[in-house]
Amino acid sequence: MISRISRAGLGAFTVSMLAAGAAQAHHPLGGGTPETFMQGFLSGIGHPMIGIDHFAFIVAVGLAAAFSAKRLLTPLAFVVATMIGCMLHVAGIMLPLPELFISASVVALGAFVLSGRKMALPGQLGFFGLAGLFHGFAYGGAIIGAESTPLVAYLGSFAVTQYLIALGAMLLVTTVWKAADSKAIQPRIAGALVAGVGFAFFFENVEGMILG
């Protein structure tokens, strides 16, 4: 039992360190709009990792998908939806309270993983898709005003980066932790960390709304 807890703690520590690293990452372009294919490509790689709330949610997608019958499909629902959400922002179509919804989605998914329950496939696809629209909408702020070449490079690289992060979290669960089901302690501890990250951002957003 002690060994299991130790492995769970090590895994949770690893997830938290990855998240901390993402939080400290610098935008490849210093916040500027990409002007070339390579700039769009690098920006797309960096953006899913620069915000700890986005990174934590993608990790949680992988944690939840690890116990899905369609484990390779469900993260794609999120990735495709982020691309659509990004293009909505570029097209000038606004979504309501995106930052509040994003942080709330991190809390919700982290708490669900913590609960040890399995999400039915339709619910997982629907939730990942809806959350992806808002996360992608936030990504779109980095590409507004860019020409088509850097825009395409950005969309492609951030889509692949997100999928690889989710796949990495999934492999952590199935290969490193060897968790047999969603009730295993390691992914649940990681889910608690994700929920904590989401709650911190949610509280910050609510406080900002109240204080103006």
* pLDDT tens for each residue of 140-154: 999 999 999 999 999
The predicted-structure confidence for 45-77, as pLDDT tens digits, reads as follows: 998 988 899 999 999 999 999 999 899 999 999
The pTM score is: 0.86
Alpha helices, H only, the chain: 2-24, 37-50, 52-65, 74-90, 98-115, 121-139, 148-171, 185-211
Query: What does the mean pLDDT of the chain come to?
Result: 88
pLDDT for 30 equals 66
